[in-house]
Chains A and B, each alone.
Chain A
């Protein structure tokens, strides 16, 4: 009974917090792989496509789609070149990307804080 009440209370609080904060949440950053890409680039000057793929343990197609979305949003910059005959993509985080990740981190922390206070 107590468990059911707690679960209901958590759902109610979650809904309240969610309603209060949802408009601010950057959905572009919220997706798991995109969050991983930004987190990895936040501690590196630049990473190649293959380094990101190895680090995030994902497929070429998946990484390519999500990196392009971040690039289109202006959160990443991508430089394409050739290493011999092999194409190479270097990704860097832009200032807008860094701000977006910081905003997202603040958002998550605020969410946890709000839940603790309730």
Chain B
């Protein structure tokens, strides 16, 4: 009886954690990240030096990271689940390698004087990170990652189009669209 009760509680917890993958990605956080990316694209487009342009986007990346963590924390709290739960750990484990690769490529490309490739690399690797981190989540999460990968590929292909336009469409537009879908359909 005792073992059965413990087993049942474990099952409830496990199911809640697995089902938590449906809610781990914050939709409202995504919408906010999209809005700040649009603002960053506008500010970055007015910079004359490459360093200033890079500083704007690095600042935006840090801000987006903060929004993402805060959004996930608020969502976990609403669902009465710890932030560092099974699904969240899986997401971070899948998400991090591609993001680290993106950081290395950013440094290398910027140092080599090829900032025109950065928007494509950022979106391609961010998309890959979302696809692999969100693989166990609802379909809309890896779909968002796939869209970022397409946007990144397009940015790498058509380097003639201004960088900030691609970044506004990707980090701004895609975050707002998919963030809205996740917020409406998957509880915030």
Which A residues contact B (CB, under 8 angstroms)? 10, 13-14, 17-18, 30, 32, 35-36, 39-47, 51, 55-56, 105, 108-109, 111-112, 115
Contacts and interface: CB of A to CB of B under 8 A. Distances in A.
- Interface size bucket, B side? 20 to 34
A42 B9 contact: no
Contact of B22 (A32, A44, A105, A115): A44
Given A43-B23, A44-B187, A45-B187, A56 B5 contact: no
Contacts of A115: 1-2, 5
A39 B188 CA distance: 19
B16 A39 contact: yes
The A interface, classified by DSSP as helix, strand, loop or mixed, is helix
Nearest to A43: B79
Contact of B16 (A43, A46, A109): A43
Interface of B: 1-2, 5-6, 8-9, 11-12, 15-16, 18-20, 22-23, 79-81, 138, 185-187
B22 A39 contact: no
Nearest to A44: B22
Q: Which of B1, B9, B138 gathers the greatest number of chain A CB atoms within 10 Å?
A: B1
A39 B12 contact: yes
B80 A43 contact: yes
B5 A108 contact: yes
